[in-house]
Structures are given as structure tokens and as C-alpha cells.
Amino acid sequence: MKRLLFIYNPQAGRGIIKNHLAAVADLFTKAGYLVTVWPTQGKEDAAHVAAQQGWWYDRVVCCGGDGTLSETVSGLLTMDQPPVLGYIPAGTTNDFSKNLGLPRGVENAAATAAAGVPRPCDMGRFNERTFVYVAAFGIFTDVSYGTPQHFKSAFGHLAYVLEGATKLGDLGRSHHLKAVYDGGELEGDFLYGMVTNTSSVGGFKIFPPSQISLNDGVFEVVLIRQPRSLADFQETLLALARQSTGASGRVEAFHTSRLTITAQDPIPWTLDGEYGGAPETAKIENLHKALTLVWGK
């Protein structure tokens, strides 16, 4: 009989999974799996369990937010031949699930995790750590990991908006850095930067869908230069919302398989919404088709 390890975060999405556990286990059993259920016991527990136990299973399914997914992936990537990974999104934002075409609803997503289409997917390495879909620095990037869990549970996505509104005073805090990427380099003062493998981050669709693939071996990179004023920054945000990255003249956008960012001072980064450290040099690499994920449509 096939074996399935189900890792879930009992705190994610206001604890929504607790009301669906029996139905989810039943779906997996009906799909022909012998199911082991593991509720995470704290930070990094999903990574530890995936790394230590994943080898024994034909499929691992994780349930939670982007952080739970990222932890599970980091654990599986310690293996030479990781099992197929399914994902049941149950967090506050769930940006990456939209790229996988996963249906809404815990039980619908569970059915897809059990019987969906396995496809290879690129992952990312940030110095010695891994990430699934986004590494970012600068204004607003501390909102996701700095917003208290009870605030996120009570207000959902609005919690990020409210917390982010308090960061507008940081417009003067840019970072002087040099970025070296496939076939080019640039230098200057930047307010924000992100390296992504996704069509949408926080609701912004930076690149047209035709330019994005989750397994093409390259990341999409956006770097926002220091704005001259608040109005200049607002114009830049509007340009990004319209997928017009060059409209304001403050945005650098390109594709690359590798990126090295060297800064004059340590820069705090987020990886999939969690704190990723504050290195002076960040070496970022696309891990081409490193993991097989279960997709929807």
C-alpha cells in the first residue's frame, strides 16, 4: 500500500484544518494511501519531520500557510530523491497556491493533493537556506513575519495591510547595493527588491503570465530604486500594479538563474514571508526542477 505523510499546522488560517481532519484523512485513505498525520509542534517542526521521515513515504502533503509549505520544502530538499509533495493552503495569504491552480476549500485541495497532476517545480537557494517562491528585502518585507499571529488570525489579509500602513515612514531607508545576474549587473540605492518564482506576490502581478513558468530555471527579479518623493513612490506602485515595470523609471525588472546582491550594510530579508537573516551578501540560485509538486488544473 502507498504511504502518505500529512503534516499540518494547527494554528494556520484560524485553525481551519481542525474541522476537516476526519474528512481529509478519509479522502487520502480512499485514494489508496496508508496515512500518518502529524500536527506541527512549533517553528521548523515541519522541516524536521519532512527531513527525518519523508524518505519512507510515497507522498507528503502539508497544510498551512506559505511558511508551513516553505518549511516542508526545506526538509524535503535535504533528500536525494524527495517524494511528491501536495499542498493544502490554509494560511492568511497563500500566494503560491494560486500558481499551482489549487481549488478553494480544504477538502477540495486535499482531493487535488491526493490525485492531482505531479509536475516538476523550481525552488530557490538563498545562501545556505531554501525558499519556495519569494526572497525579498526592503520596505514592507518585515510585515508578514512581524505581524503577530493573533492579529493575523483575527483580521486575515487585512492584518498585513494595516501593519504595512505603518511602514510608509521608511521611504527614506534605502540600501546601496550591487546586483550581479545572468549577463549583467547594476548598482545604486534601492528601496525594495524581490526574487520570485510566482505570478503574484501580495496581489501584485509584476510580470505578464506569458513570461512566467514555475519550472523554466529562472527567477523573476524586481528592484525598486529609491524614490524622489512619496508621489514618486506611489507612481511606481501604480506602474507595478499595471504590469508596466518601466513606466516610472524607478524599477529594474529582469529574469535570471543566479543573482548575487552585495550591500554596504547587512540587509534583512524575508523568505516566503519568514525572516531570512540579514547578510551583507546574498547569493541566490534557481534550483531547476528540484521538487515535484501536485498541481491542480
Angle at 214 between CA 213 and CA 219, to 5 degrees: 80
Model pLDDT for residues 128-158, shown as the tens digit of each residue: 999 999 898 887 565 444 444 443 443 333 3
Task: Mention every residue, 6+ apart, whose C-beta is less than 8 A from residue 121.
Answer: 214, 215, 289, 290, 291, 292, 293
Residue 160 pLDDT: 36
Phi, psi (deg, nearest 5) at residue 88: -115, 105
Residue 283 pLDDT: 98
Distance, in Å, from the CA atom of 200 to the CA atom of 176, rounded to the nearest integer, reads 26
Residue-range domain boundaries for the chain: 2-115, 131-289
Look at the domain 2-115 and name its fold: Rossmann fold (3.40.50)
Model pLDDT for residues 196-250, shown as the tens digit of each residue: 998 766 555 667 667 788 999 999 998 888 776 666 666 666 666 555 555 456 7
CATH number belonging to domain 131-289: 2.60.200.40
Question: Which one of 252, 274, 280, 285 is the catalytic residue?
Answer: 274
Phi, psi (deg, nearest 5) at residue 261: -115, 120
Task: State yes or no: is 220 an active-site residue.
Answer: no
Highest-scoring range by mean pLDDT, 19-23, 123-127, 173-177: 123-127
Angle at 92 between CA 88 and CA 96, to 5 degrees: 55
Distance, in Å, from the CA atom of 118 to the CA atom of 124, rounded to the nearest integer, reads 19
The residue with cell 526574487 is 195
